[in-house]
Structure 1
Amino acid sequence: MTLNSVTLVDDEAAIRQAIEPWLSLSGFEVSLYSRGEDCLAQLPEHYPGVILSDVRMPGMSGLELLDRLQTLDRDLPVIILTGHGDVPMAVDAMRQGAYDFLEKPFAPQALLDTLRRALEKRQLVLENRRLHEQADNRAQLEATLLGVSPGLQTLRRQVLDLAAMPVNVLIRGETGSGKELVARCLHDFGPRAAKPFVALNCAAIPEQLFEAELFGHESGAFTGAQGKRVGRLEYAQGGTLFLDEIESMPLAQQAKLLRVLQDRQLQRLGSNQSIEVDVRIIAATKPDLLDEARAGRFREDLAYRLNVAELRLPALRERREDIPLLYNHFLRGAAERLGRPATEPSGALLGRLLSHDWPGNVRELANAAEREVLGLSPSTEEAAGQSLAAQQEAFEAQCLRAALSRHKGDIKAVLAELQLPRRTLNEKMQRHGLQREMFL
């Protein structure tokens, strides 16, 4: 459906046959119905066009159709076609929300002008809705993928763009960097959000059980196969299948997954019947799949199928300015979950957090916050080797990054907030490797 769509509802075949070719030649995409009930049953959500409806029809009248359409979408333009003597009825329809009415017989140009005005209005309404939805999605995503660093801001933009696209996505990132959370966001902010999100860790499934887990099986397909089982692919029908640690998938199952992606069909283990599947695949990996393919551990053709679009998640050490925000978030969550008070982290603790390399990334940081709520002191290894000067340097760098991010590189605003002379700020930014352009 496009923004030149017109749906004509009229019980008279002669009227439909006269209007349809003329509208088609005028550049409209026309759908025809003889009954209002059929129009309602077939009309897609957020229909991007205009409804033309006769008033007097068997079954549902044009006014009843208008009322039902208003319930579905108050901004959908409905133009009423009236016969002689029905003008007062059409005026009532305008009061009920109809866009306009035309009295039969009408001049072709009058209908064209009315349709074009209605379509322009429809386009503005849908564009306005889209912008509002984008703003709502951005706000929700900012509350889910926390961070003010340039890397996180870029990641959020990429997630919003890719969420709406019907393509497979490969997520690259270190252990604990939040790959499943990003996969969930790609699902939740896209058109498949109402359908299942199914996650499978490929490294956690024994090789001999992998095929049955992914594709399902029929009763008696193998020893111990009691009853029919729906596999993860089939269970994700219409939605998203997240395959974590995809590099661990056995080579034999990689070939079968490739066939499913190509044919959009699968067969349960022990069955010859093909089942249609409509599933978006989001895969996650730590190593480069093409490196794995060159080493003979992964199919190159499957790697290309999965990597239509790629997202790289920055390690936590690459976005240290996000650590205080994330740590406070995890502190509050752990305190609420454990029924303990949440206290603000001290400057010494923040310095220690900022100077640590976080090999376990966000997962390790969340664990540290939970230990803090439980009253367990940080491990000796975490604090070892960090001098006071190193902790002060790390904390200073974090403060500068946060201020530059908040003000989007506006140096005057940063100077005012931090109460620093321009020369001092320049020296500190140079020492910490910070450039204004990184935060624009």
Structure 2
Amino acid sequence: MSERARILVVDDDPSLCRLLEMRLQSAGYAPTTCESGERALAELEREPANAVVTDLRMDGMDGLALFEAIRQRWPALPVIILTAHGSIPDAVEATRRGVQGFLTKPFDAAELLEQLEKAVLHGGGRGSASAREAGLRHGLHTRSPRMEAVLERALLVADSEANVLIRGASGTGKEVIARAIHTSSPRADGPFVAVNCGAIPETLLESELFGHVRGAFTGADRDREGLFREADGGTLFLDEIGDMPLQLQVKLLRALQEQVVRPLGGRQGVAINVRVLSATHRDLDAALADGSFREDLYFRLAVVGIELPPLAERREDIPLLARHFLGEAARRHGRAVRDFSPEAIETMAQADWPGNIRQLQNVIEQSVTLCTSEVIPDDLVRQALRQDNQPAVPTLAAARASFERDYLVRLLKLTEGNVSRAARLAGRNRTEFYRLLSRHELQPIDFKR
């Protein structure tokens, strides 16, 4: 049993809550009691627990509704249900949904403690109470309920051998989650090998994954093992799996099914022992529908799915991540920058972040590099955001507006702010020319000598 594991007890009968509290304290647990499901959820938000013991029949949110809410928010947190109205259908329904245990009042104390010990050992001790702390060990800084749920799911699946498909927009931290799964798994002592399937030309990707023998193609002057064999005994992370060509998808599926790879040009297959984690920012449902991604490979890769939220949907993490990146950047560049101004934090919290965490890190890097004080001001953050969001090629409207403003400035400089002469050179009347100046907030007096 985990030392002083925290147990949340939920029952609308205060006397039963007190009885359970005394029993659990004497057994070495740290119990907290609540008299409603709604209060229990609020208490879990305040402080995680290792397991929940709840009554089934309660006013408002009943035990099964509480369990469903917990499963959505903290999927690894075990729940044991107690009820004076126990019946076989209730027990079947509860266990079918994934409830850890179901006991009828008056319950047997020894049986309850036995179920709690199993729950803490196999569930809550690893996931719910320590998801945030475990995330920090893997460089995952969060206080977001959505990200904590992702962490719990990742840590829960880490102990298995199931292949995992991680979805999320670019820059949301898919490789970080993959590494966390690997280092929390029984394969942690083995290699973690990552490859971006979208960054390697189709002609080279097969050799990169499966290896080749000498002479297999022009330039193959020696044997190459390939990444599957490099990852033997560990984990292979296939990033941007949605970009893999169809022909190669067939060979990947065969390797996963048989746990055997055949190098290009080779005659013999080589046995492998590899767990595959994959990730994509593409809509694989659409790819399945249009035939650009194989359905059988999809189900082989996505035994378990994990969805990462964009940064804009976990805004409570922005100050936390920003200060983490600030510390890293300040050490790397030898700068004495220690914090952001309140206005800078507000600007970051309200930004759109289309590039997600990767964009945030880039903005912080720019701000730290250019900062001349201990506190990063708002204008540096705004400048970095504008530069980061600026497209490589401007739109036609933006290019036209830029040209028009530069042209007007040139005319005003040439005529030293004389609107009549400038309008005449532009082939426009004074009224129309003033309208153009107003659009670009240009004042003729600023150009007079």
TM-score range, shorter chain: 0.5 to 0.7
Measure, in 2, the Cα distance between the counterparts of 1:132 and 1:140.
Answer: 11
Matched, 1:156 2:159: no
Amino acid at match of 2:306: L
Matched, 1:329 2:332: no
Seen in structure 2, the aligned counterparts of structure 1 residues 235 and 187 have a Cα distance that, compared at 3 Å, is same
2:286 maps to which of 276, 288, 291: 291
Amino acid at match of 2:259: R
| Pairs within 5 Å for 1:81-100 | none
Matched, 1:221 2:224: no
Whether the 8 Å CA contact 1:137–1:189 is kept in 2: the answer is: no
Amino acid at match of 1:322: D
SS in 1 for 2:153: helix
Alpha-carbon shift at residue 136 of structure 1 (Å): 7.1
Whether the 8 Å CA contact 1:290–1:303 is kept in 2: the answer is: no
Measure, in 2, the Cα distance between the counterparts of 1:286 and 1:174.
Answer: 5
Moved over 3 A (4+): 127-138, 378-384
Per-residue displacement from partner, 1:310-339 (whole Å, max 9, x unpaired)? 000010000111100000000001101111
Alpha-carbon shift at residue 212 of structure 1 (Å): 0.5
Amino acid at match of 1:235: E
Seen in structure 2, the aligned counterparts of structure 1 residues 319 and 219 have a Cα distance that, compared at 3 Å, is same
Give the root-mean-square deviation of aligned CA atoms.
2.5
Alpha-carbon shift at residue 214 of structure 1 (Å): 0.6
SS in 1 for 2:276: strand
- Structure 2, unaligned runs of 5 or more: 1-116, 372-379, 388-449
Whether the 8 Å CA contact 1:220–1:226 is kept in 2: the answer is: yes
Matched, 1:140 2:138: no
- The match for 2:262 is 267
- The match for 1:320 is 315
| Pairs within 5 Å for 1:20-419 | 139-143=133-137, 144-375=139-370, 377-380=380-383, 382=385
Mean CA deviation greater in 163-172 or 287-296: 287-296
Whether the 8 Å CA contact 1:142–1:156 is kept in 2: the answer is: no
SS in 2 for 1:166: coil
- Percent of matched pairs sharing the same residue: 45
Per-residue displacement from partner, 1:80-132 (whole Å, max 9, x unpaired)? xxxxxxxxxxxxxxxxxxxxxxxxxxxxxxxxxxxxxxxxxxxx99x879987
Measure, in 2, the Cα distance between the counterparts of 1:207 and 1:383.
Answer: 35
Measure, in 1, the Cα distance between the counterparts of 2:383 and 2:328.
Answer: 25
SS in 1 for 2:154: helix
Alpha-carbon shift at residue 142 of structure 1 (Å): 3.2
- The match for 2:107 is none
The number of aligned residues is: 263
SS in 2 for 1:199: strand
Alpha-carbon shift at residue 379 of structure 1 (Å): 4.8
Per-residue displacement from partner, 1:209-249 (whole Å, max 9, x unpaired)? 11111100011111110111010111100111101110111
Measure, in 1, the Cα distance between the counterparts of 2:386 and 2:234.
Answer: 44
Per-residue displacement from partner, 1:178-210 (whole Å, max 9, x unpaired)? 000000001011110000000000011111111
Alpha-carbon shift at residue 294 of structure 1 (Å): 1.3
Amino acid at match of 1:203: G
Amino acid at match of 2:133: A
Seen in structure 2, the aligned counterparts of structure 1 residues 231 and 339 have a Cα distance that, compared at 3 Å, is same
Amino acid at match of 1:172: R
Whether the 8 Å CA contact 2:366–2:384 is kept in 1: the answer is: no
Seen in structure 2, the aligned counterparts of structure 1 residues 273 and 383 have a Cα distance that, compared at 3 Å, is closer
Amino acid at match of 2:281: K
Seen in structure 2, the aligned counterparts of structure 1 residues 219 and 330 have a Cα distance that, compared at 3 Å, is same
Amino acid at match of 2:245: P
Whether the 8 Å CA contact 2:364–2:381 is kept in 1: the answer is: no
Whether the 8 Å CA contact 2:367–2:384 is kept in 1: the answer is: no
